[in-house]
Amino acid sequence: QKEVEQNSGPLSVPEGAIASLNCTYSDRGSQSFFWYRQYSGKSPELIMSIYSNGDKEDGRFTAQLNKASQYVSLLIRDSQPSDSATYLCAGGTGGFKTIFGAGTRLFVKA
Amino acid sequence: NAGVMQNPRHLVRRRGQEARLRCSPMKGHSHVYWYRQLPEEGLKFMVYLQKENIIDESGMPKERFSAEFPKEGPSILRIQQVVRGDSAAYFCASSPRISWKDTKSSGANVLTFGAGSRLTVL
């Protein structure tokens, strides 16, 4: 079973701090990785996509991919209370299927 | 510029009844995916469809569940003889069509999700 693993949390950080979310995946054939944010009772929305080893930055968000270690991370700088949500890591397997982790709950304390 | 449209948003059924959930993809999107989410859990892949074709149904339970995406109209996820364990949020997502050569670099499409259909089985 190809899986994406995340620490379920909750992860609690103070406002203004850096939140670090981590994810590992089992399918070495996965070539695309995504971070989605899901507020309680809402649907997931895409934050970041990353396809190559290294870092990808978009505003306060930085995604990091290490294919050798099968590891993906998301850093949120200057965390805000509005960032409090569940963050879902996802990996694209062969044939367009996207597999999601269970999600990490993030709380940003004001 | 309508996004992914799902209905009904909330559905209540008694055990043994049928549930039908509908999904219309974003304009220009030809791929539809169904995911199930239990409370406090992640999204579980169920099925991936294109128009008139089921591409991957490896996540669908073998019995009582079926999905279709007809040439005309929305995609439908059908659950027959519902049981309490079917109570969950069912999310539909869509993505645009990409060429096979692009899959080597991207692997999978970026998904746009609908608001979800929340099924409660009494």
Say yes or no to pLDDT of B2 above 80. Answer: no
> β-strand B43-50 against A104-109: which pairing, if any?
unpaired
Angle (CA) B45-A2-A58 rounded to 5° is: 75
Q: Which residues of A are less than 8 Å from B55 in CB distance?
A: 95-96
Say yes or no to pLDDT of B106 above 70. Answer: no
The answer to whether the Cβ–Cβ distance between B110 and A49 falls below 8 Å is yes
**HSE-up of residue A42 (Cα within 13 Å, Cβ side):** 14
Q: What is the per-residue pLDDT for A7? A: 86
Q: Tens digit of pLDDT for each residue in A34-92? A: 999 999 999 999 999 998 899 999 999 999 999 999 999 999 999 999 999 999 999 98
> β-strand B43-50 against B10-13: which pairing, if any?
unpaired
Q: Is there a contact between B97 and B31 (Cβ–Cβ < 8 Å)?
A: yes
SS (H, E, C) A14-83: ECCCCEEEEEEECCCCCCEEEEEEECCCCCCEEEEEECCCEEEEECCEEEEEECCCCEEEEEECCCCHHH
Q: Tens digit of pLDDT for each residue in B10-42? A: 999 999 999 999 999 999 888 999 999 998 788
Could you tell me the pLDDT band of residue B98, with boundaries at 50, 70 and 90?
A: low
Q: What is the per-residue pLDDT for B42? A: 86
User: In the β-sheet with B75-79, what is the strand arrangement from edge to edge?
Assistant: B5-7, B19-24, B75-79, B65-68
- Residue length, chain A? 110
Is the CB of A22 inside 8 Å of chain B's CB atoms? no
Say yes or no to pLDDT of B104 above 60. Answer: no
Q: Which residues of B are less than 8 Å from A45 in CB distance?
A: 113
B interface with A, Cβ–Cβ < 8 A, is 31, 33, 35, 41-45, 48, 55-56, 58, 91, 95, 103-116
Is the CB of A104 inside 8 Å of chain B's CB atoms? no
Could you tell me the pLDDT band of residue B102, with boundaries at 50, 70 and 90?
A: low
Nearest CA-CA partner of A91 in A30, A7, A6, A45: A30
